[in-house]
Amino acid sequence: MVASEPKFDAGELIGLIAVAGLLLCGVLGILLGFYAQWSRHRRAEMAAALRQQMIDRGMSADEIVAVLQTGGPEAVAAPPAPIGVGLTPGGR
């Protein structure tokens, strides 16, 4: 006996591809979200380690600020504030 192949009509095939595409987009979005959070956490961790090393070396606060400012905007970047922090009563 020869096994028959399942046959899909055009509507079923389009539906299957659409569902698979949606699942793939969802998984990709979740993975990219995790990567973004991990990289943000890692940068904050490295910035904190750099500051701690400078403190351990006995640098003054003015020297630390000068070093961080010469490193560019990425060296001074702090983690984002929680939602709602720093807003005025008008919401701006």
Using CA atoms in the order 65, 70, 73, 75, what is the torsion angle rounded to 10 degrees? Answer: -70
- How far apart, in whole angstroms, are the C-alpha atoms of residue 48 and residue 66? 16
Q: Is residue 43 within 8 Å of 77, Cβ to Cβ?
A: yes
Q: pLDDT digits over 27-68, tens only?
A: 999 999 999 999 999 999 998 998 899 999 999 999 988 888
Q: pLDDT digits over 67-88, tens only?
A: 888 875 554 455 555 665 555 6
